[in-house]
Structure 1
Amino acid sequence: MHVGIVGAGAVGGYLAAELSAGGAEITLVTRKGRAAATDKPVAIRADGTALHARGSLVITDDSTSLSGVDIALVTVKSPATEEVAATLAQVLPANTPVVSFQNGLRNVEILREKLGPRVAGGVVTYNVYNGERGERRQASTGKLMAGHLAGELERRMQALKEVFSASGETLELHGEFNSVLLGKLLLNLNNGICAATGLGIAASLRDYDARFCFSECILEGLDCMRRAGMKPARVTVLPPELLAPALKLPNAVVTRMARSLVGIDSAARSSTLQDIDRGRPTEIDDLNGAIVAIARRAGGEAPRNELVTRIVHEIERVAMSGGRPAFVPPRELRSQMERVSRGKHAI
């Protein structure tokens, strides 16, 4: 099977290494001018297992090289999705399925506007980051999930699942995928907390005030979704309705009960914080900002997630201008969140 992957960042490189180890031929498309500086990715799983490219793995910035792939995976950040959609519409045959392994809710819609119903949603529920030597490291355990397609497109999805299986990865295919995307969005709200505070993922989950803010964002997101007629799926061991209150338990209890959460690689940083580190645009409008959008469409507000979105945008602005961003300490973020919550309520 020949798999094309658009986006050579942490997730794109990790999936490329997995699929190559599973026997697939890989074409990995980078940003313009970055191909020569991109090494063949090595994936390091959470248990320390290293996966190396086993067969053909071509790294290029020429998107026309995707014309012969059997399936294309999109792993770019949300701001680049419209450009990628237009490019894929030009270079891919009409029968080539596309899977969006991206954050947020809008990317599948944007891709389908140009590519039609051959686009499936996908989620990576674990964190991946770039290691010091360029390796792609899985920092937490979780699932790889995607939606079903129809006819020949579904046969290629099944073939993709088999290649992942050959590498030791399980790709779960689901019929009702919008609910999965909603569940992943709730989990991703910690991206904003990490970006606002400057904390790595593990540090944010060990800090009570940061966990409190994450919990409040999930609870607000659940309320907004419920009032908008949306039902998120469970994408972790705990459903979001139980995860949110569990995050507010004392540190000692969380440390005992959720070792997989607090045991995340201490070097792992959320994708939004990684963007800030590099002075790049973030996806915050497709994360915490997406909850604000859901609330507004239903005629309401989401003050907690709106606060996080506003703070991250200011940090992003400073970082992109070459300045040193001022992160908000977790206790101060909690205080601000409690203040905005007193005067406003979600929907």
Structure 2
Amino acid sequence: MRIGIIGAGALGGTFAALLVRAGHEVEVTARGAGLEAIRSGGIRLTGGYGETHARVTASEVLAARPGLVLVCTKAQDAAAAIEANAAVVDGVPVVVVQNGLEGVATASRLLPRSSCMGLLSIIAANYTEPGVVRVTTPATSYLGRGDGPPDDESRRTAAVLSEAVPVVAIGGFRGAQWTKLIVNMLNAVPAIVGRSVQDVVDHRRLRRVVAASMREAVRVGLARGIRFGSLQGLGDRRLRLFARLPLALGQLLPWLMRVRMGNVPNLGSTQQSLRRGQPTEVDYLNGAVVREASAAGLEAPVNAALTALVHEVEASGTGLPVERVLAALSA
């Protein structure tokens, strides 16, 4: 199949390389140094899925109409990237591979003739050099849409993608998006202090901050009537229990995630954006919790503080001392 991938960063590059290895014809979009590197040297993938060197067609926008499109940009770039490619992809099945809660709705609005699905990827990959991706944690990805059971198109699309990397079609996708949002609460603190996720969770006081942001996010989801989907060993029952625990016990959740992650340093997507000098998607992660809390008539002070701190690091280009972070959260 001819597959178009909009955004060839960490996840886009991973899917592109593995789909080529599986025998598909792949075209990617990229910009700047990333586009030049892919055009000249292809995409080099190492780590959890082995080593592969994929030659792909690359340009700023897709040149040929594909049979399937993956949107792998950061959440803040999705609308502009979809609009730039709309003439080629409107009417083509679209899979949004993205953090946050809004990606599928954005694609559906901008591509009214397309059938739009979402993909929740737990794959951890570092993209700190143009055209080079290292997978630090391989994992199954989950595809679906809406609140109902998986439909036939979702199953067919999952089967195509599974030729490259494990993908499962699931029901209750919206609830699974919220579960992924809880997992993504691992991103902010490592980005703020400039350490790996493992280092942050190993730090007793920073682990408490991560747990607090997760617990707050779960409580907001419950206030919004969400039934959390099953993902990475997490599900509705476990997260509802977590929401009631004191933080001293709740810290077990990020610790278990850290154990599952292994010891290869995971920077998290937010920190990778900072290291490349690019805007982060914190407004679609911790910021999404703040907006959803407001919609429920609540406040989310922990996630509001973390969102502000990430923006502070974006502006300064320098990570913050641990004590500065702890002081901000105490306030």
TM-score by length of 2: 0.86
Alignment of 1:38-57 (within 5 A): 38=38, 39-46=41-48, 49-53=50-54, 57=56
Q: Which structure 2 residues correspond to residues 209-248 of structure 1 after superposition, within 5 A?
A: 209-239=205-235, 241=239
- Cα distance in 1 for residues equivalent to 2:320 and 2:79: 30
Question: Who is 2:296 aligned against?
Answer: 298
| Residue of structure 2 equivalent to 1:345 | none
Tell me whether 1:261 sits opposite 2:260 in the alignment.
Answer: yes
Rate the CA distance shift 1:132–1:87 in 2: closer, same or farther, 3 A: closer
Cα distance change on mapping 1:98 and 1:247 into 2, 3 Å: farther
Measured on the aligned residues, the alpha-carbon RMSD in Å equals 3.0
Shift of 1:262: 5.7
For residues 300-347 of structure 1, what are the alpha-carbon distances to aligned partners after superposition, in whole Å with 9 as ceiling and x for unaligned?
10000001001111111122xxxxx24131x5534532x34xxxxxxx
Aligned-pair CA distance for 1:161: 2.9
**Equivalence for 1:22:** 22
Equivalent runs, 1:20-169 vs 2, <5 Å: 20-31=20-31, 34-38=34-38, 39-46=41-48, 49-53=50-54, 57-63=56-62, 65-67=63-65, 69-94=66-91, 96-116=92-112, 118-130=115-127, 134-147=131-144, 157-167=154-164, 169=165
- Structure 1 residue matching 2:43: 3-state secondary structure: coil
Instruction: Decide whether aligned partners of structure 1 residues 20 and 158 sit closer, same or farther in structure 2, where only a CA change above 3 A counts.
Output: farther
Output one character per residue of 1:237-294: Cα deviation in whole Å (capped at 9) or x when no partner.
2446267869956999998x7774362412x311111111122111110011110000
Deviations along 1:140-170, one digit per CA (max 9) or x if unpaired, are 2432111159xxxx66654543343333x21
For the structure 1 residues 326 and 162, does the alpha-carbon distance in structure 2 shift closer, same or farther, using more than 3 Å as the test?
closer
Asked if 1:333 corresponds to 2:325, the answer is yes
Instruction: Kindly state the Cα deviation for residue 52 of structure 1 after the two structures are TM-superposed.
Output: 3.9
Q: Deviations over 1:60-98 (max 9, x none)?
A: 2232x142x00100111122111122123222252x111
Q: Taking structure 1 as reference, are residues 106 and 165 closer, same or farther at Cα in structure 2, changes over 3 Å only? A: closer
The range that moved more, 310-319 or 234-243, is 234-243
Could you say which residue in structure 2 is the equivalent of 1:315? 313
Amino acid at match of 1:288: N
What SS does structure 2 have at the residue aligned with 1:181? helix
Summarize deviations over 1:209-229 as a string: whole Å, max 9, x none.
222111101100111111111
Q: Which whole-Å CA distance do the structure 2 matches of 1:248 and 1:284 have between them?
A: 26
Distance change >3 Å, CA 184–CA 66, structure 1 → 2: farther
The equivalent residue for 1:343 is none
Secondary structure at the aligned position of 1:139 is classed as: strand
Letter in 2 for 1:44: T
Q: Which runs of 5+ in 2 are unaligned?
A: none
> Partners in 2 of 1:190 and 1:253 — Cα distance?
11
Q: CA deviation at 1:135?
A: 3.2
Number of aligned positions between the proteins = 320
Contact 2:61 2:84 in 1 (8 A): no
Q: How does 1:171-186 map to 2 (within 5 A)?
A: 171-186=167-182
C-alpha separation in 2, matches of 1:61 and 1:228: 39
CA–CA separation in structure 2 for the residues paired with 1:194 and 1:59: 32
The 1:33/1:196 distance shift into structure 2, 3 A limit, reads closer
CA distances 1:30-81 after superposition (whole Å, capped 9, x unpaired): 12674232232233342x622343xx73122232x142x0010011112211
